[in-house]
Amino acid sequence: MFDLNSLLRDNIKRLTPYSSARDEYKGEASVYLDANENSFGSPLPVSYHRYPDPLQWKVKYRLADIKGVPPQNIFLGNGSDEAIDILYRAFCRPGIDNVILCPPTYGMYEVSANINDAIIRKASLTEDFQLDLEAIEAAIDENTKMIFICSPNNPTANAIDKESIEMVLNNFDGIVVVDEAYINFSKHKSLIQELTEYPNLVILQTLSKAWGLAALRMGMAFASEDIINIFNKIKPPYNINQASQELALEALNNVEQVNAWIKETVEERNRLTGELAKLAIVEKVYPSDANFLLVKTTDAKGIYGSLVEKGIIVRDRSKVELCAGCLRITIGTPDENVTLLQALQNITR
């Protein structure tokens, strides 16, 4: 039986969160003398002398319309990495509690675990990059607090079978984190509508990928209101700055443009998959549900070096578990993809 309170660290249960000036007063006023700001303004064309909304409600209401979830079920972080870090700080007692990772997967789960001194247990993906449910079950003990699942997965690009994820959700009493950073490029549906069914589910998404806002550093977590309240209890008072909130709102009003980019990205992904498969230096192009491809080559290190010399940067993943010989290649614009293919065609074995 899932019991959120039993999973929380004792110090987080006792924690009195910082109360900012904007937390204590709700509404509009004509004179603000509460937050020790510069009352004369700022030396910028747009005035940023007031602290931003600490809970980013305008952005959350817009996201609620797009995602179909209530705004109180949304947390906004300084990238998804902030949400990952908060999860460790909320639930993992340093040196005692453990988490289960499923490599190959996104590297920040392990980095954040090490920063927070959480014990890491690994249940590697199968050869076809799916969950090994038996290995996950064997890794769980009384101190296992979280399981991280990336779907579509980075660096393998494939979606994880929904039935396997639901099996974990139904049989694990801790937190299951499903990272959907690349979900917009997948034919598989988000699990976001399953939040009411699974109180132990946390979904991570981001505005960095399909929405093209990587420089703004805005990640999202969707979860039960109780879990979101824990995020808000731990986060810094003003973790999303005013400029990012305003720009995010502007971007979120351009859904049609983003959908057009997603469509073109998927078309380019399919075209690039076919063209890469024709090259002698390519042994396999793995199926992709993301905006990148995992490509097994005859000489990943050598090919990577040759591309760097031509000013083309891809990611060498050949030392990553289950990814020997592989490069990870982001889907570029049509012109960028042509440049990549021309460079690869000039590389011999």
Q: Is the peptide bond before 45 cis (omega within 30 degrees of 0)?
A: no
pLDDT at 268: 98
Same domain assignment for residues 200 and 340 = no
Shared domain for 29 and 148, answered yes or no, is yes
Is residue 188 domain-shared with residue 95, that is, in the same domain?
Answer: yes
The answer to whether residues 283 and 245 belong to one domain is no
Look at residue 67 and tell me whether its pLDDT is greater than 80.
yes
Domain end position, chosen among 189, 221, 253: 253
251 — pLDDT class (breaks 50, 70, 90): very high
Tell me the pLDDT tens digit for each residue of 118-147. 999 999 999 999 999 999 999 999 999 999
Q: Which amino acid is at 231?
A: F
Does 189 share its domain with 63? Answer: yes
Pair 238, 271 in one domain: no
The CATH number of the domain holding residue 287 is 3.90.1150.10
Mean pLDDT within 63-82: 97
Q: Say whether pLDDT at 24 is over 80.
A: no
Mean pLDDT across the chain: 96
* Domain-terminating residue out of 253, 278, 301: 253
Supply the pLDDT for residue 106: 98
Q: How far apart are CA 277 and CA 234, in angstroms?
A: 48
Last residue of a domain, one of 222, 253, 284: 253
pLDDT at 25 over 80: no
* Range of the structural domain that residue 324 is part of: 256-345
Q: Residue 349: its pLDDT value, please?
A: 58
The CA-CA-CA angle for residues 57, 63, 65, to 5°, reads 110
* Close Cβ partners of 332 (under 8 Å, ≥ 6 residues apart): 268, 340
What is the count of structural domains for the chain?
Answer: 2
pTM, 2 dp: 0.95
Q: 213 and 262 share a domain?
A: no
Position 28 confidence tier, pLDDT thresholds 50, 70, 90: confident
- 237 and 278 belong to one structural domain: no
> Are 234 and 98 found together in one domain?
yes
* pLDDT at residue 29, rounded to an integer: 82
Between 22 and 225, residue with greater pLDDT: 225
pLDDT reported for residue 249: 97
pLDDT at 320 over 90: yes
Domain containing residue 43: CATH number:
3.40.640.10
Is the pLDDT at 187 greater than 90? The verdict is yes
Residue 163 has pLDDT above 70, yes or no: yes
Is the peptide bond prior to 104 cis by the omega test (within 30 degrees of 0)? yes
Alpha carbon distance 206, 28 (integer Å):
30
* Across 298-317, average pLDDT: 97
Residues 261 and 193 in one domain: no
Percent of the chain with pLDDT over 90: 93
| pLDDT class of 32 with cuts at 50, 70, 90 | confident
How much is the pLDDT for 43? Answer: 93
What type of residue is 272?
L
Residues 168 and 91 in one domain: yes
Are residues 298 and 160 part of one domain?
Answer: no
Percent of the chain residues topping a pLDDT of 70: 99
